[in-house]
Amino acid sequence: MASARTEQANPLLNKLNLTQKVQLISGASYWTTCPQASIGLGSITFSDGPSGVRGTTWDECSPSTCLPSPTALAATWDEALTMRLGTLLAHEARRKGIHVLLGPNLNLHRSPLGGRHFECFSEDPLLTARIGAAYIRALQAQGVGATPKHFVANDSEAERFTADVRVDERTLREVYLAPFEQAVTVGAWLLMSAYNRVNGVTMTEHSLLRDPLKEEWGFDGVVISDWLAVRSTVAAGNGGNDLAMPGPATAWSDRLVDAVLAGDVPEAIINDKVARLLRLADRVKAFTTDREPDDGLVQQNELKQTLLQQAAASSAVLVRNENGLLPLNPNRLKRIAVIGPNALVAQIQGGGSAAVIPEKTVSPLEDIRERLLPETKVAYAAGVDFGSELPLMPLEMLRNPETRRPGVRVRYLDKDGQVIRIENRQATQLIWLDDGLVDVDLIEIETCLRVLEPGIYRIGVGGNGAIRSPGTYRLAADEQILVDEVIDNHESGQPGTAVPAAPGTGEVELHQDQEIAIRLSHQIKSGAIGVPTGVTLSLLLGRAQTHEEALAAAVDVARDADVAILIVGTTNYDESEGADRATMTLPRRQNELINKIAAVNKRTVVVLNTGAPVEIPWHKAVDALLLCWFPGQEGGKALADILFGAREPGGRLPTTWATSESDVPVLVTQPQDNQLVYAEGLHIGYRAWARTKVKPAYYFGHGLGYTEWQLHALKVPDTASLTSPITVQVRLANVGLRPGREVVQVYLQRKLSVIDRPIIWLAGFCGVQADPGHGVTAEIHISPRSFQHWSEQSHSWETETGTFTILAGRSAGDLPLSAPVTIRSS
């Protein structure tokens, strides 16, 4: 039922003149809408998500709770856990004064090369819809708006401002629009329109925003543009986009007022947009008299850490465990080799707008050491040459030259060389959004470095994710100039279309107890897109080793170890908004590292710390393979829990994993002549694999725990008329030695269909738990929509009557139970 304030939307609207109305829908700043004191309305404040709530600043002075990546959330196949995490995010948002979180991302894993793959849930529309709906419901139950994005077919990053996705009507409806329809069904308050075009029309002007979104589905919320996605006044003003962000210099503002006065845009359309914004303001309590304080849930750190640790463990997918290598018994281990770049530097999140400054990070190596007996020897080796993509300088090795405490001193100078302000910061990755750079021409960073061991080191400066700053970089160690470069990595004036590598590094020989002065200056070049340019600067440090030297050291520590634990993967340089990956091959020659270690120690556990699938040609050469995604700030503790048996790895694959990139049936993300043709139609992910003669390494839905399960029986109705969901039951038992959780999955199949269909498609799932020796029944409800198809002739949903086969099992490649059901016409 609408609240009293919502019912007053039209009276409030009548109190505003045309200029005020257009101000409301044009944005006031990078993160806020325009307040209107005359009707008691404050600003609505937005924040990037979806794995945390960054707020309107991006620095360690206001850190954020960092959740597992959306790919990891989908790997839990657990809506209840997702809702608990959504509640945590909502309270985090309220603590930071945020009304609306820009997430979840409901685009699909069409290709494993998609740059924001880690930020999306799954290759399957049903799994995406259900996990996304749980996320939305939890956020909004606490009064924080959710913004499912990016509507629609924004499934890759190449040419994302201009790419024209060519996709047929049926595929749009059944695959790409399906998660957004579910988001509207559960009452999403906002929806974000995408940068790209679909079938020739840019999404901020697209008729899809009218129908089906607002007309057929009855969406009563606000369509907010992706940042700078509104590029026209009349076309977008007449369309279904309601709010253009960021402000105030958008394609709307004064130009939209002029268009209305000229009769090019009817004021009635403006009124609808404003009414929607006022409804949102009521829902998020942006009317100044409605503000409520946060209840402090996120301050209960122990409770929060336990939840994040549980989530990371529940998302980890054990895909291979030969000879029962995992879990390890710490009491029987005398010597462990921990190897890999991601063991030393925790990679907890991807890059771009999804990234936050976490409250804390602990290296997996440190958490592993904490779980072992004091007498157990732990030897570490990186195993690879980091190249220019060095880890961040450890804060404990630095001293602010002024305070002598860990950290750096930052000076901000204007174009005349006058100091605007000085800050003492406790981080080696510093990020500034636009509002923090007013009048700033030069940023200077000073610190003192003392390494723990003598040797030759690489020191560098880098950017991070999709935010990068063109301009001059100058880095010095004492009097030695290491970097002096001009960087301009804006591509076609489009924000976030290029991901930076480190601008440069240099080598320095450092002695025991030697302290050197590190000085970095960065002169900012003005942005070319009508807004100030965000800046990120990272101080980087690593040992100068050749790959051969690093590899030999790793082989040496692995050879005599009781077990070798390789923690390898990608970083937020490799996976980020702004660019798709060029290859699925693990970077930095990590495949070679894995092969070498497996050759000298069969008891090898490989932990893949990535947000998206990578090639795994070596997967049968190692005894155990665990996927931990980008696991959030408690990922290291969760990994130690899993390795040593304190928790079961609870995840199941939300997307199919290939042995080789060449096997992937849908891979291309690069448009040709600005067009990206979805020629595969309905057949993405496991659906596409089912049509090939090549088997993937691990199917969608696959995952092992620390116990064994047997599926015994499937019970389905003989016939159904689809007036309500069909209920099926699967009987299964835990026949192993430990308590555990299983995810029972139900798929549909239609043989001899008169229309093109996937060979199988997911229709439902249910997580169950049981103690050893106990049975349990999974009850799964299949929606009538799962049996329907979209007709391009009638432009409506239709049902093909007759016999469908219901298949049940543990993955798309393991479906031992089946039974027919006959669908009647009435």
- Enzyme catalytic residues: 226
State the Cα–Cα distance between residues 50 and 47, nearest whole angstrom. Answer: 9
Residue entry with tokens 């100058």 = 474
**Number of alpha helices (DSSP H) and beta strands (DSSP E) in the chain:** 18, 36
Assess contact for 545 and 315: CB atoms under 8 A.
no
Q: Which residues of 274-308 are buried (b: 16+ CB within 10 A; e: fewer)?
A: bbbbbbbbbbbbbbeeeeeebeebbeeeeebbebb
Q: Residue 138: CB partners within 8 Å, gap ≥ 6?
A: 82, 83, 84, 85, 86, 87, 89, 90
The DSSP bridge partners found for residue 336 are: 378, 563
Q: Is 273 helix (H, G, I), strand (E, B) or coil?
A: helix
CA 238/CA 627 separation, integer angstroms: 47
Residue 216 DSSP code = T
User: What's the CA gap between 676 and 679, in Å, rounded?
Assistant: 9
Give the residue among 780, 799, 778 at the shortest CA–CA distance from 789: 799
Token match 């994993």: residue?
Answer: 657
- Please list, residue by residue across 575-602, b when 16 or more beta carbons sit within 10 angstroms of its beta carbon and e when fewer do: bbbbbbbeebebbbbbbebbebbbebbe
Checking DSSP bridges between strand 164-166 and strand 201-202, what pairing results, if any?
unpaired
Strands 726-734 and 775-782: antiparallel
* Of residues 490, 576, 524, the one with CA closest to residue 228: 490
DSSP 595: H
Cα–Cα dist 57/363, whole Å: 25
Write down the residue that tokens 């997996």 correspond to: 364
Which residues have a Cβ under 8 Å from the Cβ of 276 and sit 6 or more positions away? Answer: 220, 221, 222, 223, 242
Q: Any idea what the Cα angle at residue 655 is, between residues 631 and 52, rounded to 5°?
A: 30
DSSP string, 759-797: S-EEEEEEEEEE-TT-EEEEEEEE-GGGGEEEETTTTEE
Of 644, 647, 602, 650, which is closest to residue 629 (Cα–Cα)?
650
Helices (H), 15-68: 18-24
DSSP 240: S
Q: In degrees, to the nearest 5, what angle opens at C-alpha 13 toward C-alphas 8 and 16?
A: 140
Sheet with 197-198, edge to edge strand ranges: 201-202, 197-198, 164-166, 675-677
CA-based torsion, 173, 174, 180, 186: positive or negative: positive
Q: Which residues pair with 745 in a beta bridge?
A: 765, 809
Distance from C-alpha of 466 to C-alpha of 157, rounded to nearest angstrom: 11
Contacts of 95 (CB under 8 A, 6+ apart): 294, 296, 298, 299
Q: List, as one string, the DSSP characters of 405-460.
A: SSSEEEEEE-TTS-EEEEEEE--SEEEE-GGGGTT--EEEEEEEE--SS-EEEEEE
Q: Rounded to an integer, what distance in angstroms lies between the CA atom of residue 746 and that of residue 723?
A: 20
CA end-to-end span of the chain: 33
